[in-house]
Structure 1
């Protein structure tokens, strides 16, 4: 396949009536975490079998209200195993998404999350301990540690949520 410039690509897209599915970024509020850094147990694993990743993303509805989507993702199979949507971002939201995955799949060795308050909560930690699952955390300021689920949420919003509004 021949390399072409971005200007040629734009010209061809215009001729074919194709548009990019980009959406306007919004500024989400910054949160602070008062919990000491917890270990990243998956950082040096050779593969991600036995690892689930979890995260919460914001979704703005057409009426300008916000909802929160918590997802549990298997990076090896590239599949969402559990999810929950709520109008509040709580530990229960994160725990319910995890429980959905645990109800339908064999338990993993590790669950990896960021250091958000939902994932450092006693409720979430108790759920993991009950099932004998080790909790791995992204380093503060390093969202790339949880990059696969971050990329999934970005793609979901770009291709399915905001493209249809």
Structure 2
């Protein structure tokens, strides 16, 4: 095996066998290996390095309610100029042999970092409130931050809206039945499932919660390369740019 092939296999393994050719080029260049995407694709084929296949994404929140709906302040402006200016939030589900467990997450759009999350076997408003409370505690944002979500009843609930108001946040919601208005968070959930949870058979909720937390803290925020960030992971991007 050639030296480039050895390093390619190591980078692929350290990514959890989820990086495609673009991110592998970025990972190898960070290690000082000058290589093009064509060669990476050829080596991936030669060594049978394959990423997980995509599956259909199913949305979880319910927007059929009579609660007040906020304007779409974010308006697909997914590239803010600094940290703690625009956060996006959503809920997804994880399958276990003991039943579904739900993940609510909050992302800072500037660095794509997951700044808050919560998991539970229910989708009540307290789930999204817990995720936002963690984000607030960890980041201490100044008043005026845009907190964007879909129109789900959890995000329209009085408890969640009161939490945003107490912390000087401006609520923003997607247009009805328009997943593209929260596309960055939808993409995070898809990556989480392709790169981790679809590959696992969790025996129970606790096992899933532990593994998803590991993905967020030790892989996604710390190591996962993002093309939007110049192939840097969120933590490193914030240290260098913020």
**TM more than 0.5:** yes
Displacement of 1:123 in angstroms is 0.4
Displacement of 1:14 in angstroms is 6.4
Distance 1:21 1:99 in 2: 33
Q: Among 48, 54, 73, which residue is 1:17 paired with?
A: 48
| Pairing of 1:104-143 with structure 2 (within 5 A) | 104-107=138-141, 109-143=145-179
Q: Among 28, 33, 36, which residue is 2:64 paired with?
A: 33
Distance 2:149 2:173 in 1: 5
Change (3 A) 1:164 1:149: same
Q: Structure 2, unaligned stretches of length 5 or more?
A: 1-35, 202-242
Q: Which moved more, 1:39-48 or 1:155-164?
A: 39-48
Provide the residue aligned with 2:15 in structure 1.
Answer: none
Displacement of 1:29 in angstroms is 6.8
**For 1:118, what is the secondary structure of its paired residue?**
helix
Displacement of 1:22 in angstroms is 1.8
Provide the residue aligned with 1:59 in structure 2.
Answer: 94
Distance 2:59 2:131 in 1: 22
**For 1:119, what is the secondary structure of its paired residue?**
helix
Between Structure 1 and Structure 2, which shows a larger proportion of helix residues? 2
Measured against aligned partners, the alpha-carbon deviations of 1:43-102 in whole angstroms (never above 9, x if no partner) come to 1758424000000001112x1611100001011111000100000001000000000000
Residue 86 in structure 1 maps to residue 120 in structure 2: yes
**Misfit runs of 4+, over 3 Å:** 11-15, 23-32, 44-47
Provide the residue aligned with 1:42 in structure 2.
Answer: 74
Instruction: Say how many residue pairs are matched.
Output: 158
Contact persistence 2:62–2:153 (CA under 8 A): no
Measured against aligned partners, the alpha-carbon deviations of 1:97-119 in whole angstroms (never above 9, x if no partner) come to 00000001032611000000100
Distance 1:13 1:59 in 2: 30
Contact persistence 2:89–2:149 (CA under 8 A): yes
With CA pairs under 8 Å and 6+ residues apart, which has the higher RCO, 1 or 2? 1
Displacement of 1:134 in angstroms is 0.6
Provide the residue aligned with 1:96 in structure 2.
Answer: 130
TM-score (norm 2): 0.58
Displacement of 1:30 in angstroms is 7.9
**For 1:71, what is the secondary structure of its paired residue?**
strand
**For 1:135, what is the secondary structure of its paired residue?**
strand
TM-score (norm 1): 0.82
Between Structure 1 and Structure 2, which shows a larger proportion of strand residues? 1
Contact persistence 1:40–1:136 (CA under 8 A): yes
